[in-house]
A and B are shown apart, each in its own frame.
Chain A
Amino acid sequence: MKKKITRRNFIKVGGVVLSSASLGSALWPISSFGFSSKPRPRVVVVGGGFGGATCAKYIKKFDPNIDVTLIERDAKFVTCPFSNLVLGGLRDINSITHSYDALSSKHDINVVHDEVTDIDTEKRTIKTKGGSSFEYDRAVVSPGIDFLWDKVEGFSEADSESVPHAWKAGKQTTLLKNQLEAMDDGGTVVIVSPPNPFRCPPGPYERASMIAHYLKTNKPKSKILILDAKEKFSKMPLFTQGWDALYPGMIEWVSGTKGGIVSQVDAKNMEVHNEIGDVIKGAVINYIPHQTSGMIARKAGLADEGGWCPVDQKTFESTLHKSIHVIGDSSVAAPLPKSGYAASSEGKMCAAAIVTAINGTEMPNPSYSNTCYSLVGPDYGISVAAVYRLDGAKIIKVEGAGGVSPKDADESFRRAEALYASGWYSSITQDLFG
């Protein structure tokens, strides 16, 4: 495959390329001249998900003269949003798989597929497994979440090959889907839902809905049991109303105090033990473990003792290390939820903060929003929305705005929100990868 000549390569080869003119370089913007005496500011973004990819793209939007490198381990990105629709049989995994091609070809981002192994916050250098080293003036760390495997007895990371979490989309999603397809009619699907804070608060309940849709259509004698560490959950009245309407008697939810807290997951015998001594057999077990910030963020010393990364709430610059920003699920940004939409909103504000800091201009007061759709059924959508502003040093929800879909809405309202959920997906993935 022909390698694209990047600006960096152009600078490297300098006069040689210039003197041989031509080369179709007439399309390059004026800023690509390689002989300015002032080096271009360098930003390195670690992690190409909703936070990182958005941030990289919007830095270039605000200032094409900044050199942006995006380091992402995987060649393709499979979105967690809409991965539950794959489980429900509404979507194919390919339809939620995205390429980074446009980020490099259209937006002039240096996309590197490699795994970051070390971030030296003193020397401002990032090293990768592949042996590359990148210096930065500013770095953005957006690694998503990692799992705490030791919070239940008898379970290790290797067991997720037979008891999938499917809380990072991709192979795990396909594995869980295959298990649902292989199970006999009449079995119980056990979903173990984690304590707060965790990625995508409505996710486990949309998952239960989508699995119920699949079972109702294909294995109607089966049941779903949600063992929850919590006493309540996101959009709870709307979900339970939807379950009663679409899947009566199929989904049972158990709160933490009623036996929802799981103490042991036995992958070999396909059993889940709860705190009050019940042993529950699952035909399929979807154990979603306790969560913490991405490993590389913790390794770089960006996380506090709670396991998450404290940041300045205006710029998302780490409060523990200068010139390095943490966005998305890994950061502490409540009341912003750990959602893809919030991560993308944070990525945009972080991009603005970085560009204004580099150029010595004023950063306006940031404005964030979140919109999360969940599908209860193919034509039954519900949503939660909020607008956030900075109040002093704290992010706050704008009072009077936001909230969940109305409880008394009619069928056409739910149908419209299901339609808008697909519009949401199409727009946000274009905003990231288009």
Chain B
Amino acid sequence: MWVLKPGAWMLAVTYLLLIPLTSNAEPVTEGAILSITCNGCHGPDGRSTGAIPAIGGKSADYIEKAMLDFRDDKRPSTVMQRHAKGYSDAQIKLIAEYFASKK
């Protein structure tokens, strides 16, 4: 909590005026837990810069449909079919929403 030593208030207020609020902690949600392991191939926050397609910032609908189609063998792939079969509809939705938020 913000318990400041006496005398520090003035400096603190001065600093508050100078410093932009840059705290960007990511909450430990079920969506994050399911999704961050994907970063190994798709890059940090899903923003791959290499040969594997980036998924960070794509629309949730797009990611959800792609995952469902991989899972149901409607969309051909090399490895994604094998991964998508590991997740339920609800989990796929959470993953889609997580990466859609990484704009």
Residues of A within 8 A of B (CB): 15, 18-19, 21, 25-31, 33, 35-38, 58, 61-65, 341, 344-345, 348-349, 352, 355-356, 361, 363-369, 371, 383, 385-387, 389, 398, 400-403, 405, 413, 416-417, 419-420, 422-428, 430-431, 434
Size range of the chain B interface in the assembly: 35 or more
Say which residue of B21, B39, B78 sits within 8 Å of A30 (CB atoms): B21
Q: In the complex, are the beta carbons of B51 and A62 less than 8 A apart?
A: no
Residues of B within 8 A of A349 (CB): 33
Q: Which of B3, B43, B78, B84 contacts A38 (CB 8 A)?
A: B3
Given A26-B19, A36-B2, A371-B40, verify A385-B82 contact (CB < 8 Å).
yes
Residue B28 is within 8 A (CB to CB) of chain A in the complex: yes
> Which B residues lie within 8 Å of A369 (CB)?
37-38, 40, 83, 86
By the criterion CB–CB under 8 Å, are B83 and A431 in contact? no
- The answer to whether A62 and B28 have CB atoms under 8 Å apart is yes
Binding site for A on B (CB under 8 A): 1-5, 8, 11-12, 14-16, 18-30, 32-34, 36-44, 48-52, 78-79, 82-87
- The CA-CA distance from A366 to B50 in the complex, in Å, is 27
- Whether the Cβ atoms of B28 and A420 lie closer than 8 Å is no
Chain A residue at minimum C-beta to C-beta distance from B85: A401
Known: A364-B28, A364-B30. 20 other contacts (CB 8 A): A26-B18, A35-B4, A35-B12, A36-B1, A36-B3, A62-B27, A349-B33, A352-B28, A356-B28, A365-B30, A367-B33, A371-B79, A383-B79, A401-B86, A420-B79, A423-B50, A424-B41, A426-B48, A426-B51, A431-B40
Q: How far is the CA of A389 from the CA of B87 in the complex (A)?
A: 10
Is the Cβ of B50 less than 8 Å from the Cβ of A422?
yes
Contact of A401 among B2, B4, B20, B83 (CB under 8 A): B83
B44 touches A430 (CB 8 A): yes
CB atoms of B23 and A31 under 8 A apart:
yes
- A112 to chain B minimum Cβ distance, whole angstroms, is 23
Query: Which residues of chain A are within 8 angstroms of B3 by Cβ–Cβ distance?
Result: 36-38
> How many whole Å from A148's CB to the nearest CB in chain B?
30
- CB pair A413–B78 under 8 Å, yes or no, is yes
Q: How far is the CA of A341 from the CA of B41 in the complex (A)?
A: 9
A residues near B37, Cβ cutoff 8 Å: 345, 348, 367-369
Give the number of A-B contacts (CB < 8 Å): 163
| Nearest 9 A/B pairs, CB to CB | A387-B86, A423-B51, A426-B50, A401-B86, A423-B52, A401-B85, A423-B50, A398-B86, A427-B43
Neighbouring B residues of A401 by C-beta, 8 Å: 82-87
Residue of B nearest to A19 (CB): B11
> Which chain A residues lie closer than 8 Å to B78 at the CB level?
383, 405, 413, 416-417, 420
A398 and B85 CA atoms in complex are apart in Å by 8
List chain A residues, Cβ under 8 A from B25: 61-65
Can you pick out 14 interface pairs between chain A and chain B where the beta carbons lie within 8 Å of each other? A26-B20, A64-B24, A366-B33, A369-B86, A383-B78, A385-B83, A401-B86, A413-B78, A417-B79, A424-B52, A426-B50, A427-B39, A427-B48, A434-B44
Q: Which residue, A33, A402, A419, has most C-beta atoms of chain B within 10 A?
A: A33
- Indicate which residue in A38, A403, A431 contacts B44 across the interface (CB closer than 8 Å): A431
